[in-house]
Each structure stands twice: as structure tokens, then as C-alpha cells.
Amino acid sequence: MNKIEHLVIQHVHNLNNMPILAVDICGIITYANNAACQLFHVENKVLLGQHLSRFFNFLKTAQSIQSEFVEKEPNVSMEVSLPCATGEERWGLVNSQPLADDNGQILVYFFIQDISTLRKRGNLQDITDQKVHKTLLKESMERQARLAAVVSTSDDAIISKTLTGLITSWNASAERMFGYTEAEVLGKHISLIIPADRIDEEEIIIRRISKGGRIEHFETVRIGKSGQKIYVSLSISPIVDGNGMIIGASKIARDISRQKEFEEKLQRYTNNVEILNTVGKLVSESLDVKEILQIVIDASTKIIGAELGIFIYHDQNKNDEPDFAFANSGVFSELLIKEKILESNFLSSEPNWEQVARSTDLTHDNLYKDKFLVSSWFKDQSVIKSYLGVPVVSKSGKTIGRLIYGHQEEGQFMEDQEKLVIGIATQTSTALQNAKLYEKIQFLNKKKDEFVGLASHELKTPITSLVGFLQLLSMRMQTGDINKPIVDKALKQSNRLSILIDDMLNVTKIESGQLSLSYALFDLGCMVQEIIEEVQYTTHSHHIEFHSEKPSFLISADKLHLEQVLVNLLNNAIKYSPGAHQVKVYLAEYSGYAILRVQDFGMGVPVGQQEHIFSRFYRAEGINPHISGLGLGLYISKEIIDRHGGELTVESQLGEGSIFVVKIPI
């Protein structure tokens, strides 16, 4: 044992467990114990005589040794990388302290853990696990710092609580969102921000979290410090301790109030569109002014929650005379004094007749407080405070009416109600103008019908006389008289004219409701046979075939009017099939109806026109203009059959002829 080893043994304990090196002033290793050899995976003889920098990169020269250990304070500690044959990263903790002889002169350096009084000594400790642990700890602390920064700067409220609901953390966004500071809520129960009607939600949340479950994007309502409702979306996760036990819940609350407000506005808009469509459909189905007024005021009063609704319609008729109509609705409607409204010249007393007007409280509104609207609306002492008035404007820009709503509580009508009523007023304007146009058409139709009826009556007498005279003249003329064919043609044309006049008279009777039916029991089959023979006698261009399912069809009906229908159908079949030579008539019974079918093989009726041919004065397009007729025959025939409780229909294809089907109840 040399002198250096002796000094080391004298001052260092636990030689077998602690790696120890001794170096001289030049950094040459002069001593290494077994633990040091094992640390560097070399034999003792390899270490001895080597420079310390071979094993520690931070020590390159003697000067660095001098600066690192001699000139520094005792007990210097450094973490160093240790060489490893396997390439694995290893770290050591170097502790140094100077050793000197009796004269105080430094002789060697050691890496040692304990202190000696004779020489410098030092030790190396393998701290790989400690270094890894420290690195992980540092990374963990950095992650926690980053997490804390995220929590503190997040726009979402981040709150943690125990399983009993006690608040344990509260970030800055939670303060901004709910209005409570962290000091005000820590240790308080989370129910502080939960509405009373939603307190059951907390129990459900805790129950799920306690079982390890999560809650994602749960939309609900919470309450701020000022009492305002806050719509939030909650995401909640369990908090687990080091032993894996669930000890609480972490809650992220996102304020979705603006989103909810947008959704509510969108829903209100959708509802308003549906309401407008419904009201529009209702008013479009009516062509009566008073009915339209009542429908609109009933629906709109209910929709906007008014206690009173009034619709005043004021237009000029064709003589520029006032056309006034009035409708009211609501819980106060029976209290209105309509006569006083008319007597008071309300239209001129209303200050905003042609403008939209909305008042929170009429009794304090300078425009209204002295007006008839406030002072004399009702028989009793009820007072209207909230007011909404919307003009009804025609397409020409003329104000033709006003929708007025009232409520005895102030502040009841807002912008949404105003916009909705404006939309209703626009639709109503169109409906009213259509109704007025319809009234004018009805008026003109009535005048036209009166004229047609009067003219027909006036023409009927001379035509009847003319037919009679021509018949008498024809009978007295001798056979072979050159003038007889002329008289017969005049008689034929006079009969046609008489038929046209009869059609116009029948139309007048139908329109005025004066077409009466005289029911009697008769054999329909015999009647059809007789009419076919009469028509066949007057025509030589077509042969009429008759097929009956059975010999007798007893029905109760107006025989004369049914004869008129059959004559019209047969004449049409002949007239509209000039290139054919045959007409077929079928009579059968089916499901309590007598079914009469008249078939021709002529030009047919286009599909697009079939629904119109039973209209008054309608003639199918593409028909030869030389074919006479007013377009009244099928209209009259259908009216007669309809009044019998039957049906008149057509089956036709262009160029292939037509089949007219008559169904008469037996």
C-alpha cells in the first residue's frame, strides 16, 4: 500500500461501495478503488496513470483541474456524464474537497463524498436513476407550468370541485363569466351558480363522474353573480389521485349565450315565416273583404299576445266614396264602442295613420295621451298602455287600412312583433286588393248576366214568332215550289237561333239559382231511344248506334233537362267528328248509377284542355272556327247533371275521338 492509498484509506469509509479516484496536480489518476474500476468497466491498472480528461470531458487540462477544484470553495458538487461501454447515457455526482499535508500544501485531488483532514480526496456516485428522475420531475413541472398557463389564460371557465360539490379551483375566465372572484367561491358549493330548477343536473353529473364517466358538450343554463342566465356547454372529467382514486371533477364551461341567442333568433325567424305562410294561405283562400279582415285580426292578435286587436279598412270605391270596414279581436273586443270610433273620425285623429308606430306606454306618450285612442276606447275604465299600429299599404303606395293592437300592461310589443305584423300587413294588402278585384268582377258578371237574361227574354218572343210563321209558311207551300227550300233553310237557322237563346236563358237561370228541376219517374232507356231517333232524323252524315245493358232503366229525374243534355252530347258528337260516320251510345247500370256513354270518332280534346271544356263560354283550342257554338252547351249540361247529384266527365285523346260519360243516380 503506497502513501496515497494509505491517505485515502485513512480518510474515506465504505471503500467497496463508493467509487474513489485520486489525482495529482497535473490531473493524472494516482489511485482508484474497486468501485471506481467497476464504474468505468476497466481494471485498476488501466485507470492508473491516465489523465482524468479521458473519462470526463469537462476536464481537459491541469489548469481546468486547478480552476474547478483548487480555487473553489470546499464541497463543490458537479453532475457529470460517465463513460459507458454499452453506449448507455450515465451520470455521476462529483463531490470534491481539498486534502493537504501538515504544511498546508495541496498534493492531489480526489472525488470523494466524505471529508478528510490530511489530503485532498473526492468520490464519484452513479446518479443515473437520480438524473432521469430529476429530468422527469423537471419535465413534469414544466408541463404543470404550461397547464397552469393554459388554465389561467383560457377563454373557457375551468373549475374543479370535490365529489361533494365543493369548489377547489376557479380560473380567471370563470371570474369573468360568472362574476365571482376566486376568493368568493373557493370552498363554496357549486350550486352557487346552478338555477334552482336545474339542481338535479348536479346529482346526475356527480353520479356519472364517480363511476369514471365523462360528460361532453352538455348544454345547460347557469346563473352569474348578478342573477343573469348564462347558456353554457359543459365538458366534465374525473380527477384521479396518485392511487387511482377519483377524488373530484374538472369542469370546462364554454359560454354559448351568443350562439343560443342566434339560434333563438333563427327559430323566431323560422316561426315567423311559418306564421306568415299560414296567414297568407288563410287570407288567400277568401275573396270576401270582411272575412279577410276578421281572419287577419284574429290570427295576428293571438300571435303577438295582444289583448286587443282592431283592423280598420278604409278605401275609396269607384265613385270615390269611402268604403269602410271594421273587425276586432281579443279579450277586450266586446268592450269596444264601434259607433264612437266612427263618430270620432278616428282615421284623422290617429297621429301615425300612414306609419308604423309602437309605444311602450300610451298614457305617457305625448302623441297619444290626449287622443281618442287613450281616453274613450272602452265602456269601462280599462286603460291601454302598450300600443302597436301598422299601416296596410296597397301596391300603388296608398294606405288602405291599419292594424292596431293594445295591451293593458306596458312594454308588451317589441321589434319582433312589429316585423311580424308588417309582414302580415303586406300579405293582407294583396288579399284585400284581390278581394276588391273579385268584387268588381262579380259586379260586372252580375251586370253581364242581367244583360244576357234581358236580351234573351227580349229575343225569345220575336224568334218564337218567326219560327212559328216560317213553319206555317212552309206547310202552306206546295211541293216543288222553288221558294220552299229557302223557307226551310230559314226555319232551320231560326231553330238554331232559338236554341242559342235558350242556352243563354238557361245560363242566366243557373247563375241566379233559378234553374229548377221537376222530378218524375220514367224509363231512361226509352227516353234515350226517342232522342236518338229525333237526332238521327235531322242528320244524314252519321249513323247513331244504341246499346243497352237491359231493356228498362227506371229513374226519378227531370226528364226534359236530361233530354236537353243528351241532345247536346249527340249534336256535339256529330259536329266535332266531321270526318267520321258513326256515333255510339251505351247505357248500363253500375253501383246504383245509370251510366250513359256517348262516343264519337272525331278530333278529340287535348288533355290540357279537358278540365276547361265544362266552363262557361269555353271552346277548345284548335277547333275549326266554322263550327258554330257559344261554348255553353257542356257548361249547362254539367250543371244539370250536378244538380241531379251525378257526374259528367270526358275521356279523350287527340285525334282519336271522345267519350262523354253521364252518371245519374237510380
* Residue 225: pLDDT band with limits 50, 70, 90: very high
pLDDT of residue 563: 87
Placement of cell 370541485 in the chain: 161
How far apart CA 447 and CA 340 sit, in angstroms, is 37
pLDDT of residue 379: 43
What are the pLDDT digits (tens) for 403-433? 888 888 888 888 888 888 888 888 888 888 8
Whether residue 525 is predicted with pLDDT greater than 50 in this model: the reply is yes
For 502-557, strand residue ranges (E) read 520-523, 543-548, 554-557
pLDDT of residue 23: 73
Mean pLDDT of all residues in 609-628:
68
DSSP annotation of 225: T
pTM of the model: 0.43
Q: Maximum Cα–Cα distance for the chain, whole Å?
A: 184
In this predicted model, which residue has the larger pLDDT, 213 or 19? Answer: 213
Residues contacting 183, CB < 8 A, separation 6+:
none
Whether residue 123 is predicted with pLDDT greater than 60 in this model: the reply is no
Lowest mean pLDDT among 117-131, 291-305, 317-331: 117-131
pLDDT of residue 410: 86
Lowest mean pLDDT among 130-144, 230-244, 543-557: 130-144
Mean pLDDT of all residues in 178-186:
91
How far apart CA 465 and CA 459 sit, in angstroms, is 10
CB pairs under 8 A, 24+ apart, for 489-496? 491/467, 494/463, 494/466, 494/467, 494/470, 495/467, 496/628
Q: Which of 660, 661, 614, 611 is nearest to 638 (CA)?
A: 614
For β-strands 229-240 and 246-255, DSSP reports them as antiparallel
Whether residue 14 is predicted with pLDDT greater than 50 in this model: the reply is no
Mean pLDDT of all residues in 285-290:
80
Residues contacting 410, CB < 8 A, separation 6+:
360, 361, 385, 386
φ and ψ of 375, to 5 deg: -80, -30
How far apart CA 309 and CA 305 sit, in angstroms, is 10
Q: How many CB atoms lie within 10 A of CB 351?
A: 14
Give yes or no for a contact between 507 and 545, defined as CB atoms under 8 angstroms apart. no
Please give the CATH architecture assigned to the domain spanning 264-441: 2-Layer Sandwich (3.30)
C-alpha angle with apex 171: 165 to 206, nearest 5 degrees?
Answer: 20
**Highest-confidence segment of 374-388, 561-575, 622-636:** 561-575
Q: Which of 85, 32, 81 is nearest to 59 (CA)?
A: 81
Whether residue 620 is predicted with pLDDT greater than 60 in this model: the reply is yes
Placement of cell 268584387 in the chain: 439
Mean pLDDT of all residues in 304-315:
84
- Topology agreement, domain 3-133 and domain 154-255: yes
CATH 1.10.10.10 is the classification of domain 3-133? no
pLDDT of residue 4: 55
φ and ψ of 373, to 5 deg: -55, -40
- The class (CATH top level) of 520-665 is alpha beta
* Residue 178: pLDDT band with limits 50, 70, 90: very high
* Residue 73: pLDDT band with limits 50, 70, 90: very low
* Residue 13: pLDDT band with limits 50, 70, 90: very low
* Residue 74: pLDDT band with limits 50, 70, 90: very low
DSSP 318-349: TTS-EEEEEEEESTTGGGB-HHHHHHTTHHHH
Alpha helices in 211-288 (DSSP H): 257-284
Q: How many CB atoms lie within 10 A of CB 410?
A: 16
When the pLDDT of each residue in the chain is averaged and rounded to a whole number, the result is: 76
Q: How many CB atoms lie within 10 A of CB 89?
A: 11
Alpha helices in 352-414 (DSSP H): 372-375
Lowest mean pLDDT among 115-124, 178-187, 303-312, 460-469: 115-124
Q: Which residues of 578-615 are buried (b: 16+ CB within 10 A; e: fewer)?
A: eebeebbbbbeeeeebbbbbbbbbbbbbeeebbeebbe
pLDDT of residue 558: 86
Q: How far is CA 305 from CA 33, 388, 407, in A?
A: 99, 12, 8
pLDDT of residue 584: 94
pLDDT of residue 11: 54
Mean pLDDT of all residues in 204-231:
90
**Highest-confidence segment of 330-334, 469-473, 517-521:** 517-521
> Domain segments of the chain: what residues?
3-133, 154-255, 264-441, 520-665
pLDDT of residue 56: 66
* Residue 649: pLDDT band with limits 50, 70, 90: very high
pLDDT of residue 631: 65
- Residue 513 host element (H or E): none
Give yes or no for a contact between 194 and 210, defined as CB atoms under 8 angstroms apart. no
pLDDT of residue 663: 94
Please give the CATH architecture assigned to the domain spanning 154-255: 2-Layer Sandwich (3.30)
Q: Which of 584, 588, 642, 635 is nearest to 613 (CA)?
A: 635
Edge-first strand order for the sheet with 322-329 is 322-329, 308-316, 399-407, 386-393, 357-359
At residue 178, the 3 state secondary structure works out as helix
| % pLDDT > 70, the chain | 67
DSSP annotation of 74: S
* Residue 136: pLDDT band with limits 50, 70, 90: low
Whether residue 153 is predicted with pLDDT greater than 70 in this model: the reply is no
C-alpha angle with apex 655: 653 to 660, nearest 5 degrees?
Answer: 50
Lowest mean pLDDT among 169-178, 227-236, 315-324, 436-445: 315-324
Give yes or no for a contact between 627 and 611, defined as CB atoms under 8 angstroms apart. no
At residue 167, the 3 state secondary structure works out as strand
pLDDT of residue 618: 67
pLDDT of residue 121: 38
Whether residue 190 is predicted with pLDDT greater than 80 in this model: the reply is yes
| % pLDDT > 90, the chain | 14
pLDDT of residue 556: 92
Whether residue 378 is predicted with pLDDT greater than 60 in this model: the reply is no
- Residue 639 host element (H or E): helix 633-643
Q: Could you tell me how many residues make up the chain?
A: 666
Give yes or no for a contact between 74 and 50, defined as CB atoms under 8 angstroms apart. no
φ and ψ of 646, to 5 deg: -110, -160
CB-facing half-sphere around the CA of 490: CA atoms within 13 A: 15
Handedness of CA 68, 71, 72, 74 (dihedral sign): positive
Lowest mean pLDDT among 166-170, 252-256, 356-360, 512-516: 512-516
* Residue 77: pLDDT band with limits 50, 70, 90: low
Grid cell for residue 596: 250513359
* Residue 181: pLDDT band with limits 50, 70, 90: very high
* Residue 612: pLDDT band with limits 50, 70, 90: confident
Whether residue 147 is predicted with pLDDT greater than 60 in this model: the reply is no
Beta bridge partners of 154: none
